[in-house]
Amino acid sequence: MLELSELPPPSKAAEAGYYPDPLGSGRARWWNGAAWTATVGPKVEPDAPFDRPVPPPTKVCRRCAVQSQTFAPECPNCGRNYTRASGPQLVGIIAASLLLTVGGCGACIAIGIEAGEEELERTAITRDEFDAVPPGASREPVEARLGAPFDTDRDGDLVCLTYNEEGELFGDFYELCFEDGVLVSKDAY
């Protein structure tokens, strides 16, 4: 298997940016201006030219309505994350709404919240634990050190593990994405 350091640049004097992955993952890979990195970005069209950078998507902030072309997960105007409420957050909101509507029982709500908090505590990691996971790390030792994730998402050879922020009921979530068992990207949202 080719090493990233052995791969040629996307073009002569290519500037830093996301380019179609020369390893053929169907995603963009970060070229830092001198070498390919382990950072994998968004999906790209199969016929995307390898010698041109992938243009950043246009995003509209749900909070301040500013439109930006960026790969960044946060709005450059207000700093809020572009993504809507995460799956775990939505599940919690829906479950609490259903319990309130159907049962109207304060005790039922308290039991549900307590169970949710226990699940979140079981799958929580600190920001320092998240930051300590280096690009290129193997999945098995990372999962052994951090414990079972809150959620596991699979997309072909890409497996993303999601952990929640320790001590926060609706705090950040940390996502570690592995391709062929090796960490290729990580994101906090």
Predicted pLDDT at 160: 94
Residues 93 and 136 in one domain: yes
Residues 132 and 50 in one domain: no
Q: What is the CATH number of the domain that holds 129?
A: 3.30.1450.10
The CA angle 64-69-73, to the nearest 5 degrees, is 65
In a domain, 81, yes or no: no
Residues 173 and 102 in one domain: yes
Q: What is the mean pLDDT of residues 89-95?
A: 74
- In the chain, the percentage of residues whose pLDDT exceeds 90 is 42
Question: Over the chain, what is the mean pLDDT?
Answer: 84
In a domain, 126, yes or no: yes
Residues 38 and 93 in one domain: no
In this model, does residue 185 exceed pLDDT 70?
Answer: yes
Residue ranges making up the domain that contains 15: 4-54
In this model, does residue 143 exceed pLDDT 70?
Answer: yes
Predicted pLDDT at 113: 56
In this model, does residue 56 exceed pLDDT 80?
Answer: yes
pLDDT-derived band at 44 (thresholds 50, 70, 90) equals very high
In this model, does residue 88 exceed pLDDT 80?
Answer: no
Residues 114 and 39 in one domain: no
pLDDT-derived band at 166 (thresholds 50, 70, 90) equals confident
Question: What's the structural domain count of the chain?
Answer: 2
